[in-house]
């Protein structure tokens, strides 16, 4: 693991892996969308509106998962000073932010026909909206502090403090009365969903996870190059004329 | 109604299902393209400033 702390070795590995993850992610998404739109049956209560689930639920899972990865990377950066840990956390933020926005928007498009409202201020929706603002705040924080080591320290603290929101989101449907339905897949008594709907959902979930890795590799390569560029420029500026 | 018309009608929920799928594909595509371009640009800049002839 520590061998890849060396940015050059990381770059070599990342360059080799990017096309594979990108290709697999796109292929899995195409298969998942096909299964979701053509193969999965309409829901007996919600009809074809239930097909929104296949883009809503995986996006919501990713919103939580990417934040968890960001928080773990930030903790690793704090404890072991791993040079790539801050970069991984920073590179994850825009990806998690997009997944959270997608979960919110597709949720609104599902809420309107089913609940009769685009938005309700209940525990689940509000806590996910807070997650969205945590991502935005994290991105803004990196941009606001110019010196990278100070920016990294502030960003780590925000990511770790914000992590308290992750279990709150997960359990919000149990702790508070909410319009949002409870967990159907991650339950202690097993998934409460028919196999014909679970399969497309899982393919979409795997697709989104693979896409996350591909996007993460691309954005980490970007961050490593930008840091190298900064170091070179600083070196040139301070070099004796 | 033909099979395709039935499909696009989404049981009357077309106005909700199709925007949900469209925004998902569009947002991920946009993020992927933007990230790729930025990555290529900063890799090129880093490589350019590393070549020794630039400093002479």
- Give me the numbers of helices (H) and strands (E) for chain B, helices first please: 2, 0
Q: Are A102 and B17 in contact (CB < 8 Å)?
A: no
Q: Which of B17, B38, B42 sits opposite A51 (nearest CB)?
A: B17
What is the ipTM score, two decimals? Answer: 0.90
Check if A49 contacts B (Cβ < 8 Å): yes
Assess whether pLDDT exceeds 60 at residue A241: no
Interval A137-177: pLDDT, tens: 999 999 999 888 899 999 999 999 999 999 999 988 888 87
For residue A170, give the nearest of A76, A63, A13 by alpha carbon: A63
Interval A105-117: pLDDT, tens: 999 999 999 999 9
Shortest Cα–Cα distance, B40 to chain A (Å): 7
What domain range includes position B18? 3-55
Kind and range of the H or E element at A141?
Answer: helix A123-144
Confidence bin at B56 (pLDDT 50/70/90): very low
CA pair distance A43, A194, nearest whole angstrom:
10
Assess whether pLDDT exceeds 90 at residue B49: no
Structural domains of chain B, count:
1
Mean pLDDT estimate for chain A:
91
Position A186 scores a pLDDT of: 80
The C-alpha R_g of chain A, in whole angstroms, comes to 20
Instruction: Report how many Cβ contacts below 8 Å link chain A to chain B.
Output: 93
Phi and psi dihedrals of A240, rounded to 5? -65, 140
Q: Are A222 and B20 in contact (CB < 8 Å)?
A: no
Interval A167-214: pLDDT, tens: 999 988 888 877 888 888 888 787 788 888 999 999 999 999 999 999
Interval A43-82: pLDDT, tens: 888 999 999 999 999 999 999 999 999 999 999 999 998 8
Q: Are A218 and B32 in contact (CB < 8 Å)?
A: yes
């Amino acid at each position: 693991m520590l061998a890849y702390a060396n940015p050059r070795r990381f770059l070599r590995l990342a360059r080799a892996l990017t096309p594979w993850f990108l290709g697999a992610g796109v292929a899995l998404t195409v298969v998942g969308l096909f299964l979701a739109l053509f193969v999965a049956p309409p829901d007996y209560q919600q009809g074809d509106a239930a097909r929104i689930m296949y883009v809503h639920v995986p996006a919501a899972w990713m919103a939580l998962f990417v934040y968890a990865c960001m928080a773990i990377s930030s903790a690793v950066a704090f404890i072991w000073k791993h040079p790539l840990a801050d970069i991984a956390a920073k590179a994850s933020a825009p990806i998690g932010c997009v997944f959270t926005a997608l979960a919110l928007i597709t949720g609104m498009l599902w809420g309107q026909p089913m609940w009769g409202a685009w938005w309700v201020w209940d525990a689940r929706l509000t806590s996910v909206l807070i997650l969205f603002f945590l991502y935005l705040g994290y991105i803004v924080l990196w941009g606001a502090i110019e010196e990278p080591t100070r920016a990294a320290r502030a960003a780590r603290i925000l990511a770790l403090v914000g992590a308290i929101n992750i279990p709150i989101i997960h359990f919000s449907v149990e702790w508070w009365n909410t319009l949002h339905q409870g967990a159907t897949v991650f339950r202690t008594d097993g998934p409460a969903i028919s196999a014909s709907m679970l399969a497309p959902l899982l393919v979409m979930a795997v697709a989104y996870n693979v896409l996350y890795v591909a996007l993460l590799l691309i954005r980490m390569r970007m961050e490593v190059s930008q840091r190298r560029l900064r170091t070179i420029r600083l070196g040139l500026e301070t070099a004796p004329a | 109604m033909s099979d395709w018309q039935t499909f696009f009608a989404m049981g009357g929920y077309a106005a909700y299902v199709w925007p949900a799928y469209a925004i998902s594909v569009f947002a991920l595509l946009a993020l992927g393209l933007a990230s790729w371009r930025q990555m290529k640009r900063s890799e090129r800049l880093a490589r350019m400033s590393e070549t020794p002839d630039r400093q002479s």
